[in-house]
Amino acid sequence: MQEVILRKLFLGFIQVHILHHAKKKPFYGSWMIQELEHHGYEISAGTLYPILHSLKKAELLQVEEKLENGKIRKYYSITKDGEEVLIKAKKQLSELVSEHI
């Protein structure tokens, strides 16, 4: 049961992380997998891409396709709504971290 709860929590953290990087600069999926691994998250493409699609569907991310080396690569960037969600999420996380647990 603990693993199920931790997975749900980590998926939320991953979404915040994605929005954070999308605000800094557009990124593509395989780069994000490596970035998340750098922060200790083990995530497969089969987990990441549905998250990216749901954030796009919620209009928190937008996608631009670019042709690179003969192949189309999708770059994800944050939307105005995504920026608002990111601000709220960071505020809540900051409040939680500052609590005396």
Q: Which domains does the chain have, with CATH numbers?
A: 2-98 (1.10.10.10)
* pLDDT reported for residue 19: 98
Pairing of strands 61-68, 71-78: antiparallel
pTM of structure: 0.90
Q: What is the pLDDT of residues 62-77, one digit of tens each?
A: 999 999 999 999 999 9
Burial class (CB in 10 A: 0-12, 13-18, 19+), 31: middle
Residues of the chain with pLDDT under 70: 100-101
Average pLDDT, the chain: 94
* pLDDT reported for residue 101: 58
